[in-house]
Structure 1
Amino acid sequence: MGIVAHVDAGKTSLTERLLYAAGVIDRIGRVDDGNTRTDSMELERKRGITIRSAVVSFALGDLPVNLIDTPGHSDFIAEVERALSVLDGAVLVISAVEGVQPQTRLLMRTLDRLRIPALLFVNKIDRVGARYDDLLADIRRLLTPAAVPMESVAELGTRSASVDLLAVQRAELGEILAERNDAFLERYLEDAELDHAAELRSQVARAEVHPVYFGSAMTGVGIPELIEGIRSWLPRASGSPDDELRARVFKVERGAAGQKLASARIVSGTLAARTPVAVHPGDGPQYQTRPSGIEVYRDGTRQPADRVEAGQIVALRGLKSIRIGDQLGVRTRQVGQLFAPPTLETVVRARDRVRLFQALTQLAEQDPLIRVRKADDITVSLYGEVQKEVIASLLASEYGVEVTFSETTPIHVERLDGVGAAMREITDSLWAAGVGFRVSPVAEGIEYGLEVELGALPRAFHTAVEETVRQTLHQGLYGWEIPNIRVDLTHTAYYSPTTVAADFRRLVPLVLLEAIAEAGTTVMEPLNHFELDVPSDTVSRVLAHVAEHRGVVSQTMLTETQAHLEGTLPAATTHPFESHLPTLTRGEALLATTFHSHQPVAGPPPARARTDGNPLNEKQYVLNLNRSA
């Protein structure tokens, strides 16, 4: 089960309450005091926010629960994505005061897309400004029309706030359930005796209906009712220990001695320590390995185990090449990337560049969306400014590396303008290989096709060609990635006694970039979608501010006191735009941004320093290869 929410809605406080109710802890920690069970990083305690997903296991009666507390800040959305891939159900936390916030909507859309059953928990009913009726209306309008309130609230917005289970109006509940099941509708219209609870349980399991509970994680009000809701409505794990092993790695960290520790969900089957297991990487060939040790999450701790089975979350040791997203045992369908990759990057500087690069490379193992790039400078990709502080803190505390950052800049991409082709025969080449490519634009993703017979080239050479093609596409004509392109292999040649795979690896970048140069590329900058709430009397100033930062407002909703604006804003100007908002709005602005799309850069296209020796300049490229040899 996952607990997800917009930042500051109370996820970690709710986790503490559940642990206390389950008897795992005897004292409830406070986020403000930095003593919660799941926020273990020093920076998490200092900032009062969750940065890394944390796993804790406990029992609610006869129901064993593996709970994952996820970050709420949008800078750490990649952590949320990895947790969602292993969930049976979720609790989406909403603040009764702040209500449905932009990140709440993003998370609900993702839960719906993955068909993850979810309960909604409205927290902070004891706070001044807490809402009930109009918040339910917002939930139905912005999140899901199938929200079923399970409780009423007395003395809302006071320290004495309490909840009462509704004898949920059978008529209202019946109508909601009948809308989603024709058989139930037929019996409902016949006024037959119906088992509303069984139908509700079934529709919650299919992620069609969402019960709504109310309470306060600080005072404990509503927590017993929420626990009963979790036990009653969320489906239990269905994998069997007798089936084939299926497991997914969703977190990788390093222990005190520097060894890798991989957290995985065992979906089905069993796994034993020191026995061979097949690993299916997301973008590479299958291989076999043996976990040297297994720990299982149980009763709030990690305990050593020789054998684990379906339904458990485990920590695996001794898997040196393991990465987040890898599957163990039998490969199952991969869930595509749920959220957009980072659109910003910054240069990281330290006295010892070698140690810095090694440390950042290890951090990237724990977060695949932190891309580390080494050219003239070392750069790292980001979702936002808060990540800079996190990276600096981790480098200092875990690796003893003090760093500074340059100003954050957007990560551009290149779009192919047309079709291009290039070919080199062995006689034209410095290496004992010949190759030809045709490139063309596609709407999404990288497509690779063969227009040569598969048997005309040894399989190892085909593998070398395809791997090098995908690597070369990380740097187009201006040094930016080309994400949407089709590459067709149109020609191959080799000398049987002398050609090796390295000949193709060296030649492919030259020929592929020749083809791309013939097609031409346009540099595109990232564009963010923004949602902005401001006092209504500041709208004119804010609209001028949007225009000044190259933004476009597409939707405006005004009330007497508040204005809600939506539109697009270039990633390059988003941070400067945000930093001036408090001054323009008396500190009352609420801004949320998510990646929207790419648009062509106005003016001269920006170039990025290359890391590949520059295949666009053959003489320079060959000299660089000879120096590296």
Structure 2
Amino acid sequence: MAIPIRNVAIIAHVDHGKTTLVDGLLRTCGAFRENEAVEERVMDSGDLERERGITIQSKSTSVEYRGVRIQLVDTPGHADFGGEVERVLSMADGVILLVDAFEGPMPQTRFVLTKAFEHGLTPVIVINKVDRPEARPKEVVNEVFDLLIDLGADEDVIECPVLYASGRDGWASRDPAVKGTDMVPIFDEILAHVPEPTDDPNGPLQFRVSSIDHSDYVGRIVIGRVHRGTLRKTRVMHVDRDGKRQEVQVRGVFRYVGITREECDSVGAGDIAAIYGIENLGIGDSLTDLEVVEPLEPIAIDEPTISMVFRVNNSPFAGREGKFVTSRQLKERFERELRTNVALRVAPTDSPDAFHVSGRGLMHLGILAENMRREGFEFAVSPPVVLTKEVDGKKHEPIEQLVIDAPDDCVGKIIEFLGQRKAELQSMSSKGEFRHLEFEIPSRGLIGSRTRILNLSQGRAIMHHSFLRFGPDRGELAGRIAGVMIASSMGAVTGYAIDLLKDRGTFFVLPQTEVYEGMIVGEHCKENDIIVNIGREKKLTNIRSSTKEAFTKLTPPRLLSLEEALEYISDDELVEITPTSIRLRKAFLKEKDRKRSEQRA
């Protein structure tokens, strides 16, 4: 007799503790040995995921509780990776909605809950981090139910169970005032409220690909749910998103046991399986019976909202630091990415050396660029551009919900700044010592705002945003106020030159950094761009005091991360990205070419 199954996705806003909660659930069910050394956030396996503390790709795991196999899927919380959430929900029969006991529902909470309702999934609500000193669990529960009503939830959903937990300490409770001992209450509610799969185990095969992984031993591994029939090591029909059919061989079948995959002979209806042996399977593709070819509907993913041009690096330093530098290598890399990154779009441009790459947000494209540079790619990227569309003959642009928690003393400055970025304040309330602000803002108004808001609040503000809808264009936006300092020639940066130019603005480079003509080396304190001799050396004479000017005290430079660099650049600038360097540069390196371009414009 087949073991009963429950398929559960864990959804929440970014940083509300999904991956940490999974750690606690695995420990409660004995997925780790007592003497086993286990890292925190065991489901976040990628280098970038561990560095940033966020989930980028969804992961599956399985635990057994009271004779039932509970399959848990950890999802990304950041809005830019919403494509991952949408396809993972197609594998689930229920969701655990996790909400921070202090922050309450945030923009991405609304997004993931909306998607769960579209799939007909009922949530088990878990108020996490109730051990925080500033936790306010009862108020947060009311806010969650207000959100459910706002989203049009029916009575069955509004009567869903509420639990209180500390994922970090590994306990859950039905009473916020009572500290639990383990995660058993969550498992009990999963068994009580998440329905068992009703898929037909005896019908012809239907399997849909939801995510893709890689193994050094067997190559490409595809993961998905068996929606009908039984998946075995046999020949099946592959139907892609465009309806193209091809007979293929399944060479191996895995099911999840704890955090590992275990090879098996077959996986039945309602179960989550991983298979290998088929190289060209993509996200949303179906595998069906050879005789009865009935593919499942491809998973619908929201359209991209932002675009950048990735191009071959043509700077004087091109080819010095990267292994993959040609347009052919860039094109092959994008084709590989499109197989797994369903929210991404890649289109050719007028130039064979450049590609339009569109995604769900700046972080979505920034993560792609960061992964590529770590793989050894070298390329240049244009400023992000928001994608618009026409509705009834009028231009509409993406509008996002922006939520900021900031101290009282900087709220006025933040509201004033966001007003200049065409944001509209929707609500303001108190949350402990912070003010909770909600805005509607064009996506283009958000580009470059994070750094400015952190500066205005001395790093104390917390901001989150999520796509809301397309709305009428809100008019012209002021660009970057300050100009830049541009290197006049190739050479190494000297401390002497930085000291002479320190009153002109802030520098982005350290002494001894190699620069070239047209490279941006700092931000000018005025609106215009200036050309500077950043490699100027001190003239030596035979008249020198023994102690005079023995030491030159330099202000530390402002070193930009990749995403900060992408937010910073203007229309006539590029970011040069290599495995070891991130450089800002003008699109036209020579001053006469820049002037000619300005005259033509």
TM-score range (shorter-chain normalised) is: 0.5 to 0.7
**Aligned equivalent of 1:549, options 401, 409, 421:** 421
2:269 corresponds to 1:269? no
The DSSP-based 3-state class of the residue aligned with 1:361 is helix
- CA spacing shift, 1:318–1:596, aligned 2, 3 Å: same
Aligned amino acid, residue 77 of structure 2: G
Q: How far apart are 1:80 and its partner, in Å?
A: 0.9
Higher-helix-fraction structure: 1
Query: Partners of 1:56 and 1:146 in 2: how far apart?
Result: 30
Q: Is the 8 A contact 2:401 2:438 kept in 1?
A: yes
Query: Partners of 1:258 and 1:272 in 2: how far apart?
Result: 17
Query: Partners of 1:564 and 1:532 in 2: how far apart?
Result: 6
- CA spacing shift, 1:142–1:115, aligned 2, 3 Å: same
CA offsets, 1:461-511, max 9 Å, x none?
A: xxxxxxxxxxxxxxxxxxxxxxxxxxxxxxxxxxxxxxxxxxxxxxxxxxx
Query: Partners of 1:29 and 1:558 in 2: how far apart?
Result: 46
Aligned to 2:164: 214
2:391 corresponds to 1:384? no
Query: Partners of 2:272 and 2:88 in 1: how far apart?
Result: 12
Aligned to 1:519: none
Aligned amino acid, residue 238 of structure 1: T
Query: Partners of 2:475 and 2:443 in 1: how far apart?
Result: 14
2:207 corresponds to 1:247? yes
Q: How far apart are 1:367 and its partner, in Å?
A: 0.6
Alignment of 1:59-78 (within 5 A): 59-78=64-83
Query: Partners of 1:281 and 1:84 in 2: how far apart?
Result: 20
Query: Partners of 1:597 and 1:352 in 2: how far apart?
Result: 36
- CA spacing shift, 1:241–1:528, aligned 2, 3 Å: same
Q: How far apart are 1:415 and its partner, in Å?
A: 5.8
Q: Is the 8 A contact 2:9 2:75 kept in 1?
A: yes
2:88 corresponds to 1:47? no
Aligned amino acid, residue 265 of structure 1: R
2:270 corresponds to 1:311? yes
Aligned residues: 441
- CA spacing shift, 1:96–1:393, aligned 2, 3 Å: same
CA offsets, 1:178-216, max 9 Å, x none?
A: x94xxxxxxxxxxxxxxxxxxxxxx4xxx4532111121
CA offsets, 1:199-245, max 9 Å, x none?
A: xxxx4xxx453211112112122112112211222112222321232
- CA spacing shift, 1:122–1:529, aligned 2, 3 Å: closer
Aligned to 2:136: 131
Aligned to 1:612: none
Q: Which runs of 5+ in 2 are unaligned?
A: 1-7, 173-182, 314-324, 478-570, 572-601
Alignment of 1:336-355 (within 5 A): 337=300, 339-350=302-313, 351-355=325-329
The DSSP-based 3-state class of the residue aligned with 2:57 is coil
Aligned to 2:332: 358
Q: How far apart are 1:596 and its partner, in Å?
A: 1.7
Q: How far apart are 1:373 and its partner, in Å?
A: 2.6
The DSSP-based 3-state class of the residue aligned with 2:21 is helix
TM-score normalised to the size of structure 2?
Answer: 0.66
Aligned-pair identity (%): 26
Alignment of 1:104-183 (within 5 A): 104-144=109-149, 180=155
Query: Partners of 1:581 and 1:84 in 2: how far apart?
Result: 34
The DSSP-based 3-state class of the residue aligned with 1:99 is coil
Alignment of 1:452-463 (within 5 A): none
Q: Is the 8 A contact 2:91 2:272 kept in 1?
A: no
TM-score normalised to the size of structure 1?
Answer: 0.64
CA offsets, 1:407-455, max 9 Å, x none?
A: 22222345684xxxxxxxxxxxxxxxxxxxxxxxxxxxxxxxxxxxxxx
- CA spacing shift, 1:347–1:256, aligned 2, 3 Å: same
Aligned amino acid, residue 20 of structure 2: S
Query: Partners of 1:340 and 1:269 in 2: how far apart?
Result: 32
Aligned to 2:189: 229
Aligned amino acid, residue 395 of structure 1: M
**Aligned equivalent of 2:92, options 59, 64, 87:** 87
Q: Which runs of 5+ in 1 are unaligned?
A: 148-175, 181-202, 418-521, 608-629
Query: Partners of 1:26 and 1:217 in 2: how far apart?
Result: 19
- CA spacing shift, 1:575–1:319, aligned 2, 3 Å: same
Query: Partners of 1:301 and 1:591 in 2: how far apart?
Result: 33
- CA spacing shift, 1:117–1:313, aligned 2, 3 Å: same
Aligned to 2:43: 38
- CA spacing shift, 1:410–1:250, aligned 2, 3 Å: same
Query: Partners of 1:412 and 1:27 in 2: how far apart?
Result: 55
Residues 123-132 or 238-247, more deviating: 238-247
Q: How far apart are 1:356 and its partner, in Å?
A: 1.9
**Aligned equivalent of 1:568, options 409, 432, 440:** 440
**Aligned equivalent of 2:387, options 391, 395, 411:** 411
Aligned amino acid, residue 89 of structure 1: G
**Aligned equivalent of 1:588, options 456, 461, 474:** 461
CA offsets, 1:564-597, max 9 Å, x none?
A: 4444322222122232112233422433231420
Aligned to 1:578: 450
- CA spacing shift, 1:119–1:257, aligned 2, 3 Å: same
Q: How far apart are 1:270 and its partner, in Å?
A: 0.7
- CA spacing shift, 1:346–1:4, aligned 2, 3 Å: farther
The DSSP-based 3-state class of the residue aligned with 1:276 is strand
Aligned to 1:324: 283
- CA spacing shift, 1:126–1:531, aligned 2, 3 Å: closer
- CA spacing shift, 1:319–1:47, aligned 2, 3 Å: same
Aligned amino acid, residue 18 of structure 1: L
Aligned amino acid, residue 270 of structure 2: G
The DSSP-based 3-state class of the residue aligned with 1:103 is helix
The DSSP-based 3-state class of the residue aligned with 1:215 is strand
Q: Is the 8 A contact 1:274 1:293 kept in 2?
A: no
Aligned to 2:503: none
The DSSP-based 3-state class of the residue aligned with 1:250 is strand
2:253 corresponds to 1:290? no
Q: How far apart are 1:87 and its partner, in Å?
A: 0.6
Q: Is the 8 A contact 1:4 1:92 kept in 2?
A: yes
Aligned to 1:469: none
Aligned amino acid, residue 381 of structure 1: S
- CA spacing shift, 1:589–1:215, aligned 2, 3 Å: closer
Q: Is the 8 A contact 1:120 1:210 kept in 2?
A: yes
Q: Is the 8 A contact 1:4 1:91 kept in 2?
A: yes
Query: Partners of 1:139 and 1:317 in 2: how far apart?
Result: 41
The DSSP-based 3-state class of the residue aligned with 1:526 is strand
Aligned amino acid, residue 527 of structure 1: I
Aligned amino acid, residue 355 of structure 2: I
- CA spacing shift, 1:61–1:300, aligned 2, 3 Å: farther
Q: How far apart are 1:251 and its partner, in Å?
A: 0.6
Aligned amino acid, residue 111 of structure 1: A
- CA spacing shift, 1:79–1:28, aligned 2, 3 Å: farther
Q: Is the 8 A contact 2:102 2:134 kept in 1?
A: yes
Q: Is the 8 A contact 1:345 1:380 kept in 2?
A: yes
CA offsets, 1:38-87, max 9 Å, x none?
A: 11112212222111111112211211122111111222111111101111
Aligned amino acid, residue 357 of structure 1: K
